[in-house]
Structure 1
Amino acid sequence: MTIAEGPSRRLAAVAGCCHRRRCLSMRGTGPASLNRFWSQPMTVAFRSKPVTVEDPAYRGLAIGTYAPAVTPAPAFAQTDLKIPYVTELLSKAILPDDDAQFAGVFDGKSSSPYVQSLVESSDFVLALGVWLTDINDLGWPIDLDKTAFASWNTLKYGTSFIAQVSLADRVDGLIDKRVTCKDRILPANTVQQAPVMNPADELTYQVFYDFIQSQVDEDTIVGADASLNYFGSMLLKVGARRGFIVQSSYSAIGYIGPAATGLSLAKQDGQRLMVLSGDGGFRMTVQCLSTQTRFNLNPIIFVTDNGVYGVEQWLADAPVFHGSKPFYNSCILHRWNYSKLAEVFGCQGWKVHTYGELVAAINGAKDNLNSPFIIQVVVPQRSIPDNANWKAN
């Protein structure tokens, strides 16, 4: 959350990854500004002029990774705090994405322009349990002078480091004092509609994600692998609480296929799992299909097939995607026919090149309830999601 000490200041908060509930508490230590932050009521104003829905630069924000670790999620979401917040990719959908105070996922320059403006325009950023990695601050310099990091049992702000600080107590304090951002108007949190496309139109990464949002509802669990799917999936609106799974802490390529086995076993009746994998990662753990088929599990597995280790190329030399320069030889894959793996493992598969084929495939997948369903989504080699273009330009 963004928190400020006066009516003209701007506040921001970031939620991160903290996996413990309680620890020793801190009282009365640390810089004077932190003492005031924890002990005095605060109000937050965004601008000296009225804020409208069309004005994205309102000056309040919260960022976090794992809200249930510090306080029960319903309490955090339903209090009178009314502070907008963003999350890291790792904590996306810990609270439902349709929560009124949720502004989006912050992941540096890959965030939406709206989220970037919130972070940049805030006077003070409170990072709750945030774990900084090279994945969750892409291309974005962290302003340490205005950011306080509240972790499981420490508090870091500028040059100050305070041990034995209970993250749970800090959040409870915010709730008790009813810290709010007053006079703020949030834009409507609406679901993007599927684009109007010609059935013969070629698929790209962005066309795929523009369409797939229309298939994600409150009963959908989304799992994304360490791949270019990071970018497209972070902007999806996921309605289910705890409905988004990603391994962005260590970016373990190939993680989401086997993870889908556990997710399928643990999900509630009526929920459906959609898996978003790259072709390079999926081939590392493809034997997960055997277990899923054996136990009649039914994840819908999208394998984005561009024939390269796309995210590795993007990290090393992203401009290759926008020019004629060849890909690194080490990033070129031997092509597999992923949809035919269904015949090997006894499940279902579909290969799609066009928008119309994609629509038909997902309709078939929804009707298949007793086995995994692989949809091999063939996209051009140089195709990347729109929010990955900043590094390729």
Structure 2
Amino acid sequence: MAFTVADYLLNRLSQQQVDTLFGVPAAFCAELFDAVGAHNIKPVVTASDLEAGYAADGYARTKGLGAVAVANGVGMLSMINAIAGAFVERSPVVVINGGPNTRNLTNLRDFDVLFSHSTGQPDTDLAAYKLVTASAARAGKASEVPAVVDNAIATAVKNKRPVYVEINRDIWNLACPMPGGPLSVSNPAAGTEKQLATTIVGLIRGATSPLILVGTEIQRYGLADKVAELIAKLGIRWSTPLLAKSTLAEQGNGWVGVYAPPNSTPAAETAVEHADLLVTLGCVFPSSFAPLVTSGSNRIVSVYDGKVKIKGGPKQNAEIGALVAALVTEAAKAPPELVPAAVDPPAPTPAAGALTYRQVFERIGAALDNSWIVVPDTFIGISSAANLPVKGRNSFMCGAVWASIGHSVAAAVGASFGSSRRPLVICGDGGFHMTAQALSTVVRYGRNPVFVVIDNGIYAFEQFLIDDAYFSDPNAQPKPYVVLNRWDFVKFANGLGVQSAQSVNSAAAFDLALSAAKASSAPALIVAKVNPHDLPAELSLAELPQSAPSGVRQ
């Protein structure tokens, strides 16, 4: 049997350890889905195109590279939000489109006849995805496929960003040469790394209260071991932004907690904002970091996106892997400094009384072990999620920078295939409305995430940002446009096949529900009903823990 265009693409994906293809194939990628079995790749057909994108993103964040294929036009444009988030947050997803054929494009050009799902423009999907991918190209002929596919996949792996491949829908089954050899997916050193390492380590050794902020590129490029070694050899305090939480195990001397402004714990806020030298390794800065970065450039060394910037100086090229290795070598030339012990999370209070945000997160924190990967959504509890005592590396995943609500529910589908850990989703009821049908995919493919939906009947984060006084007045009414239609979440989940679903309104009942879900191998939904006026502890300053470590070395 001839080796085809579909075989070529799937073979290249398989070489990069991709074993799952997410999507809604329609007719335009059907031949691609037909061919997956020969390459030991599982097809996972999701309940929506947006879910497919989020699932591929969740898989990429946990496995290293993801792939998704949906119909042109209606599918691609529906999914673009998920891929934009992957682009911003350094998640390498290969987006595959069965695009228009030659006849479609000719009829459009010569007779203004629209092809299926066309906007009347020949390159709508291609042009749109150029904005949210590191590479976007079309292969109209079988002979063009190897170059287009090879460049796309290599770019995704090298840059840790999504890429877009559009294949003429008529050529999937045409003969195509087999791949000539393995792809080159490593970035070459720039040659500057050794000198830059000498400068940076010198600055660290000369500082009074330096700190390393470990960013998401460290996880994406597989540099966690080297950075842990660097921290130990320097003897330096360290933190992570929320996006990079659990890149390293959150323990050991120097750990100060997650820095998640404007609602960081006092320990993390003091350590980061009062460091006289802040080295940011592979960080993607959301808007909340603007005050730190813009006002502190004269004390920041930034390593990001193949560049190094030292204290407001010009950007210099540097490959992050080579630079980290050089930093370790340079750090080993002197003994480590002494730093304070790790900041331990506060002990949870007893499970008593009506359910609150604080109780939900404390009970989850008490239940966490090495079996879980926590997947919080963008919601009013995201700052509480930042402080969860997750166990080990790669035990947390979120969309902290792009911040699209609903990401967690569908991304957990992908994480359930890409990670050996069991996803524990924590989502607001508004975010759950966005992608709740992903529960159907979970049931269909026998996955076992646990979904905690915090039910307060409003888009609470929006209400907080618009008018936070609502939360201090029990008689206040929310803005009418943040009020949600009240779902019966238990019946909804049952209707999609999730049999373990219950609603709880007390801390003790929540404890029991989470314990039962953990003991079962089936997917579960826990609806945590809280008062609409309740706020997470991190947003109520009077409830914040007050223990902060010294801001200087000891």
| Alignment partner, residue 340 of structure 2 | 186
Tell me which residue corresponds to 2:205: 43
1:239 to 2:391 alignment: yes
2:228 pairs with one of 69, 73, 77: 77
Q: CA deviation at 1:28?
A: 9.7
- 1:206-259 C-alpha deviation (Å, 9 max, x unpaired): 121122111111221100111113111100111131110101121111011111
From 288, 310, 315, give the equivalent of 2:465. Answer: 315
Closer, same or farther: CA 44–220 of 1 in aligned 2, 3 Å: farther
**Structure 2: which amino acid aligns with 1:77?**
A
Higher share of residues assigned helix: 2
For the pair 1:174 / 2:317, whether they are aligned, the reply is no
1:336 corresponds to 2:498: no
Aligned pair partner of 1:228 in 376, 380, 404: 380
Deviations 1:49-107 (A, max 9, x none): xxxxxxxxxx3321021224456322221352332211111111111223544322111
Q: Aligned partner of 2:205: which letter?
A: T
**Residues 221 and 273 of structure 1 are in contact (CA less than 8 Å); yes or no, is this contact kept in structure 2?**
yes
Q: Which residue identity is paired with 1:27?
A: T
Secondary structure of 2:471's match? helix
For the Cα contact (< 8 Å) 2:409–2:435, is it kept in 1?
A: yes
**Corresponding letter in the other structure for 2:513:** A
- Code of the residue aligned with 1:228 in structure 2: it is I
Q: CA deviation at 1:163?
A: 3.6
RMSD: 3.1
Instruction: Note if 1:374 corresponds to 2:528.
Output: no
Letter in 1 for 2:264: S
State how far apart, in whole Å, the 2-side matches of 1:140 and 1:41 are: 18
CA distances 1:103-151 after superposition (whole Å, capped 9, x unpaired): 2211123111111111122111111222221255689974222222221
Q: Residue 338 of structure 1: CA displacement? A: 1.2
Question: Greater CA radius of gyration, 1 or 2?
Answer: 2
Counterparts in 2 of 1:35 and 1:292: CA distance versus 1, 3 Å: closer
Map 1:348-367 to 2 at 5 A.
Answer: 348-367=500-519
Match for residue 22 of structure 1 among 184, 187, 211: 187
Q: Which residue is equivalent to 2:56?
A: none
Q: Measure the CA separation in 1 of the matches of 2:494 and 2:461.
A: 29
CA deviations on 1:166-207 (whole Å, 9 max, x unpaired) are: 333332222111167955342345454432243xx1111112
Residue type of the partner of 1:196?
P
Which secondary structure does the structure 1 equivalent of 2:442 belong to?
helix
Distance in structure 1 (CA, Å) of the matches to 2:297 and 2:207 = 22
Query: What residue is the counterpart of 2:259 in the other structure?
Result: 106
* Greater relative contact order (CA < 8 Å, ≥ 6 in sequence): 1
Residue 349 (structure 2) pairs with residue 195 (structure 1): yes
- CA gap of 1:191–1:181, structure 2 versus 1, over 3 A, is farther
Match of 1:383 in 2: 534
Does structure 1 conserve the Cα–Cα contact (< 8 Å) formed by 2:255 and 2:341?
Answer: no
Structure 2 residue identity aligned to 1:186: P
TM-score by length of 1: 0.81
**2:277 matches 1:146:** no
The aligned residue for residue 205 of structure 1 is 357
Most deviating of 174-183 and 16-25: 16-25
Moved more, 356-365 or 182-191: 182-191
Residue 327 of structure 1 and its aligned partner are, at CA, apart by 2.0
Aligned to 1:127: 280
Q: Distance in 2 between matches of 1:219 and 1:36?
A: 40
Q: Secondary structure at the match of 1:343?
A: helix
1:289 aligns with 2:424: no
Unaligned runs of 5+ in 2: 1-87, 91-158, 161-185, 543-554
Q: Name the structure 2 match of 1:91.
A: 244
User: 1:343: Cα distance to partner?
Assistant: 1.8
Contact 1:22 1:167 in 2 (8 A): no
Native 8 Å contact 2:194 2:323 kept in 1: no
Following the alignment from structure 1 to structure 2, what is the Cα–Cα distance between the partners of residues 168 and 197?
Answer: 45
Letter in 2 for 1:364: A
8 Å Cα contact 2:234/2:336 also seen in 1: no
Alpha-carbon distance in 2 for matches of 1:210, 1:132? 28
Residue pair 1:220, 1:240 contacting (<8 A) in 2 also: no
From 394, 407, 428, the equivalent of 1:255 is: 407
Rounded Cα–Cα distance in structure 1 between residues aligned with 2:528 and 2:289: 26
Q: Percent identity?
A: 23
Question: What SS is found at the alignment partner of 1:360?
Answer: helix
Judged with a 3 Å threshold, the aligned counterparts in structure 2 of structure 1 residues 224 and 142 are, in CA distance, closer, same or farther, namely farther
Residue of structure 1 in register with 2:424 after alignment: 274
Aligned counterpart, 1:216: 368
TM-score by length of 2: 0.59
CA contact (8 A) 1:278 1:304 kept: yes
Please tell me whether the aligned partners of residues 128 and 149 of structure 1 are also in contact (alpha carbons under 8 angstroms).
yes
Give the secondary-structure state (helix, strand or coil) at the position aligned to 1:211: helix
Counterpart-to-counterpart distance in 2, 1:322 and 1:145:
40
Equivalent pairs, count:
358
Partner of 1:5: none
In structure 1, runs of 5+ residues without a counterpart are 1-15, 47-58
C-alpha distance in 2 between matches for 1:297 and 1:39: 46
